Structure 1
Amino acid sequence: MAITSANQLELLQTAEAVAREKMIDPGLVVEAMEESLARAAKSRYGSEMDIRVAIDRKTGRATFTRVRTVVEDEDLENYQSEMTVKQAKQYMADPQIGQTFVEEVPPVEMGRIAAQSAKQVILQKVREAERDRQFEEFKDRAGTIINGVVKREEYGNVIVDVGRGEAILRRNEKIGREAYRPNDRIRCFIKDVRREARGPQIFLSRTAPEFMAELFKMEVPEIYDGIIEIKAVARDPGSRAKIAVISYDSSIDPVGACVGMRGSRVQAVVNELQGEKIDIIPWSEDLPTFLVNALQPAEVSKVVFDEDAERIEVVVPEEQLSLAIGRRGQNVRLASQLTALDIDIMTEEEESARRQKEFELRTQLFMDTLDVDEFFAQLLVSEGFTNLEEVAYVEAGELLVIDGVDEDTAGELQARARDHLEAQAKAALDHARELGVEDSLVEFEGLTPQMVEALAEDGVKTLEDFATCADWELAGGWTTVDGERVKDDGLLEKFEMSLEEAQTLIMTARVLLGWVAPEELDPDVEDDDAEDSDSEETGV
């Protein structure tokens, strides 16, 4: 087929037809045609030639041109697409390095193989343009709900037609034992959109907590308008869920607005989620209060919150224990997800027994170390003393408030406590030195002899060893494994060392060793200096 014999307008008509069918820019199809014609021309004239084709967007006329670039004599490598300055003077008056000379060449005859190759190039370009269009359309829709039609199911994964493309709902993103047949309508949450070699991949979900939040946004106008905000969502897909809401308008009840008249709003969400039971609770900035709400319908007697460990203890009456825990631990698990805290639930009897045990242990500690009788040791514990350090270094006046304690008795108690602490410190230090601890670690400010001993027992014997530690290795922390938080014990955690204290000690050691600059200890100082400098430059 000769390109000159073809109807020139047919090229444009074909491009427009393909563009309409694939919903892409006609210009992209014309560019693909130009590239395919250029390839066919190169196979005729030689692959080393720089042949280009331009199709007129109005007439459809295809123009074939050969391009040659002017280069230095020593840079000439391809005489078919390059020429020297001397050669260029035959075509140009004053040729310059980098200039191009363009000359028109006759159109080529397209044989069967060339035509097939051109068709493949066009199809590839159109396919790439279609993929780019799909990605651009869906990339900004991640995090929203989409309606689609089920096309087929593959190994438990559902392929969904979402209009201008296909999406996948993986089997672990389906609710319970949901089953779909072709042509079923389905509503899903767009969890992620990725650009991959095989084209844009759209991943759907019906189990994501955000899916429930978006459903409520569709059903509750106050949420859509921003008057009510969804602060947290926790789900056991297909079974039960908890959603925390807050109202920024005092005249609107957030829970009532989400429930709707006779439960119409929440029921619409429940029906979409295959009957999933939903607890709507008011959100509170006070974590203990929020937790009490999150554990509904169970009644809570007392809450003890440990901010450092991000753990919370909940005390409930004996008859409320099973309700608080829920079937297979569902209620407490959802409450934990909602508050992002580890929750320990115990009955009032268990809590009382634990407190009694702590009381007995502290009483025995004072009896053994201070050489006092049981009654007097119990008095100390009752007044809030929990360890020897508090007795040894507290203001004497706090001991005098105890019945039967005068100044001499208070002084004697503190002296005994200090003597015992000093003996403990000496024993710990002697043991640490036996383990091979160097003076650089012993003399490091911030570590007690007992801390040095604990470090030595774990192989940390020099200041260099200490400086290589991570803060969580000293203070302990929490790691999430398979969705559950696992405790990491710290070397110095039993000494109640916080992560901030551990980080400061480690950085101080690194400064002493010359590993980091001193200003890195206090980045705020550097920021302040920078702000001052900026102020001076701007004249503030």
Structure 2
Amino acid sequence: MSFTGISANRQELLQIAEAVAREKSIDKSVVIASIEEAIQKAARSRYGADHDIRVFIDPKSGEMTITRHVTVVPDEELENEYAQKSLTEALKDDKEAFAGKEYSEILPPFELGRVQTQMARQVVTHKVREAEREHQYEEFKDRVGDIVNGTVRRVEYGNVIVDLGKGEGIMRRDQSIPREAFQVNDRIRAYIYDVRRETKGPQIMLSRAHGGFMAKLFAQEVPEIYDGVIEIKSVSRDPGSRAKMAVLSNDNSIDPVGACVGMRGSRVQAVVAELQNEKIDIIQWSPDEATFIVNALAPAEVSKVVLDEEEDRVEVVVPDEQLSLAIGRRGQNVRLASQLTGWQVDIITESQDSERRQKEFAERTALFQEALDVDEVIAQLLVTEGFTSIEDLAFVDENEIAVIEGFDEDTASELQARARDFLERETAEQDAKRKELGVEDGVLDIQGVTMPIAVALGVAGVKTIEDLADLATDEIRGGFEQKGGERVRVPGALESFNLSVPDAENLILNARIAAGWIEAPVVEEVEEAYEEGDLAADADAEVTDLEVEGGEADADATTEQ
């Protein structure tokens, strides 16, 4: 664009503005405004930077007007005598002058020197580039989650720069499919997972490894997904190797898995080809967490599932011969299942589960024998009936013990009396140990602190309310630290109690309230209506056993409150 003479052909100026606007896909008014600013800056350089000089280009005729403005201000606010005029001075020449009134004069056209021309070019280039970037951002900011087609412009250190026509996207190395190499001018399909506004221009982030890319490909191949009849609930991928996708049908007459596979696998094969032969497991989604986890671990068979909702962990029991299949090559199958379901999956074999159960049975039997001074048969009966601790036996309704085969009310009463005596002796011993460790009585008054917890705190050197209030969550539950460049496990004071993060946080909070460090939060009374069948908020972790027979899994959910 030439700025040598601003009195050049007016139509030529408009033609240049239109050409730049068309090439950069921006509005012509933006280009004209940038030219106005460029000439304004050059005029100030010629007449003085303190002058208020304005430039106006008529967008229809191309005629340019350069004016200098002087504004009337109160006498005490006069700061720039070139662009301002005091009210007193203005009244000498104009009886109708007032603060805020503007006077303007038209300046003659002038030729731009070499420095001024260069300055004008820089201003226009900068403004046009800013407008172009803003246009690109507006063009792509609402297209996050879409698949776009482009051409590879260049490859830099594994990152692929893609020409998208109205913008330029970048696919970083970790967002590409392994072993997939692109050359300049190759056609490419990618998924927009983020659009960021940055100083160097909008960053359009592309991916072929994102789970959304596979989901969008299926939406293009499967009309039922595009129409919303089939819903993709979640996707997990090991790009270029294997993927799992959970689908749900909103129409009972349509099989979601079959619809995604297609006739003779035609639909899924089209997606597999685009993903460099990535193996895809299509799984039926289920609102029942246990059933969904079983489906996600396919093709492995599952015998039992135990959920721990507090920790978002699930223990899966599989037949011994199914262990390697459930885990998958390098843990791929269980990792993908964990990502798909959102649960941390731990897999054990039936023999390991049986061995653990036998060990627990023996330990509980020995505990009841010693604590209650009973023979092995009675202790085993109690364990078989589901009693896991002396506390369970001591405070349960007496009739629940009396109904055990071979027991009567007298036996139940005697067993409960022995259990309570044992707990009293144990409490007295623990209290003595607490005092010996120097744990003050006030620690026991903190909500959440039991006698065993107080003893454990004393062993860890926590003896006062202030000591407990000063702890961090990791110091209670245990955590990891970097020592000598290695990640080392550091045990917590109450690690053996398996406290959840919220429980540990509440313990610290209660100690800080008791220490007077903070005020107790105000609890507003809220009326809550519970419908029949609702679960209490403080329910224990749900434990669900799935017995798999003939390839079908039946969920038996038990919630202990």
Note whether the superposition's TM-score is higher than 0.5.
yes
Q: 1:122 aligns with which of 121, 124, 130?
A: 124
**Distance apart, 1:263 and its partner CA:** 0.9
Paired amino acid for 1:335: A
Q: Does 1:332 align with 2:334?
A: yes
Distance 2:145 2:413 in 1: 67
Paired amino acid for 1:128: E
Partner of 1:135: 137
**Distance apart, 1:136 and its partner CA:** 0.9
Partner of 1:44: 46
- CA pair 477-79 structure 1, distance change in 2 beyond 3 A: same
Partner of 2:27: 25
Partner of 1:209: 211
Partner of 1:243: 245
Structure 1 contact 240–278 (Cα < 8 Å) conserved: yes
TM-score, normalised on structure 1?
A: 0.89
Q: 1:341 aligns with which of 327, 340, 343?
A: 343
Q: Does 1:184 align with 2:182?
A: no
Matches within 5 A, 1:350-369: 350-369=352-371
| Aligned residue pairs, count | 520
Partner of 1:533: none
Structure 2 stretches lacking a partner, 5+ long: 481-487, 529-561
Paired amino acid for 1:253: D
Matches within 5 A, 1:433-472: 433-467=435-469
Task: Report which stretch shifted further, 272-281 or 109-118.
Answer: 109-118
TM-score, normalised on structure 2?
A: 0.86
**Distance apart, 1:12 and its partner CA:** 1.4
Q: Secondary structure at the match of 1:251?
A: coil
Structure 1 stretches lacking a partner, 5+ long: 479-485, 527-540
Which structure has the highest helix share of the two? 1
- CA pair 491-248 structure 1, distance change in 2 beyond 3 A: farther
- CA pair 256-50 structure 1, distance change in 2 beyond 3 A: same
Partner of 1:147: 149
Distance 2:84 2:12 in 1: 35
- CA pair 5-501 structure 1, distance change in 2 beyond 3 A: closer
**Distance apart, 1:521 and its partner CA:** 3.1
Distance 2:422 2:6 in 1: 107
Structure 1 contact 36–121 (Cα < 8 Å) conserved: yes
Partner of 2:275: 273
Distance 1:387 1:489 in 2: 25
Paired amino acid for 1:422: E
Partner of 2:231: 229
Partner of 1:94: 96
- CA pair 522-357 structure 1, distance change in 2 beyond 3 A: farther
Q: Secondary structure at the match of 1:150?
A: strand
Structure 1 contact 519–525 (Cα < 8 Å) conserved: no
**Distance apart, 1:426 and its partner CA:** 2.7
Paired amino acid for 2:380: Q
Structure 1 contact 134–165 (Cα < 8 Å) conserved: yes
RMSD over aligned Cα atoms: 2.8
Distance 2:527 2:507 in 1: 18
Matches within 5 A, 1:502-513: none
Q: Deviations over 1:297-328 (max 9, x none)?
A: 11212222222222222222222222111111
Task: Report which stretch shifted further, 130-139 or 373-382.
Answer: 373-382
- Structure with the bigger RCO (C-alpha within 8 Å, sep 6+) is 2
Q: 2:383 aligns with which of 381, 384, 392?
A: 381
Task: Report which stretch shifted further, 98-107 or 496-505.
Answer: 496-505
- CA pair 2-185 structure 1, distance change in 2 beyond 3 A: closer
Partner of 2:545: none
Matches within 5 A, 1:406-485: 406-467=408-469
Distance 2:399 2:89 in 1: 106
Paired amino acid for 2:49: S
Paired amino acid for 1:416: R
Matches within 5 A, 1:154-165: 154-165=156-167
Partner of 1:538: none
Q: Secondary structure at the match of 1:14?
A: helix
- CA pair 100-497 structure 1, distance change in 2 beyond 3 A: same
**Distance apart, 1:27 and its partner CA:** 0.7
Partner of 1:11: 13
Distance 2:508 2:526 in 1: 18
Q: Secondary structure at the match of 2:65?
A: strand
**Distance apart, 1:510 and its partner CA:** 5.5
**Distance apart, 1:453 and its partner CA:** 2.2
- CA pair 2-136 structure 1, distance change in 2 beyond 3 A: closer
- CA pair 234-131 structure 1, distance change in 2 beyond 3 A: same
Give percent identity, aligned residues only: 59
Paired amino acid for 2:162: V
**Distance apart, 1:490 and its partner CA:** 6.7
Distance 1:2 1:135 in 2: 34
